[in-house]
Structure 1
Amino acid sequence: MKTNIILNDEKLKAISLRTGLRQGCPLLPLLFNTILQDLARLNKKKGKKENKF
């Protein structure tokens, strides 16, 4: 299975998905919050005033 990431309105090269979390996994909310915090921190460093994820 492959997926694409869109960054700054540009579609990046497809990457293969090898592993993931099962639906309902108790770790999913923690992982989600961790990733969003990192993205918000990166945007803040770049001086962006709004977050579009």
Structure 2
Amino acid sequence: MLKPAGMHLSTTDMLIAATARSTGNELVVANSDFRTAPLEDVMAVTNLRE
């Protein structure tokens, strides 16, 4: 499950994360407003802005 209870992601962020997860790839983002915390328990995430 990519959307833990109580965590909200934009539709665009969810689609991007789901694509990365379905292909088995790490999600790498460089956008400071992309919320990665809800995803870190279920997939590999690197936020280049943090």
Fold equivalence (TM over 0.5) = no
TM-score band (shorter)?
0.3 to 0.5
Q: TM-score, normalised by structure 1?
A: 0.33
Q: TM-score, normalised by structure 2?
A: 0.34
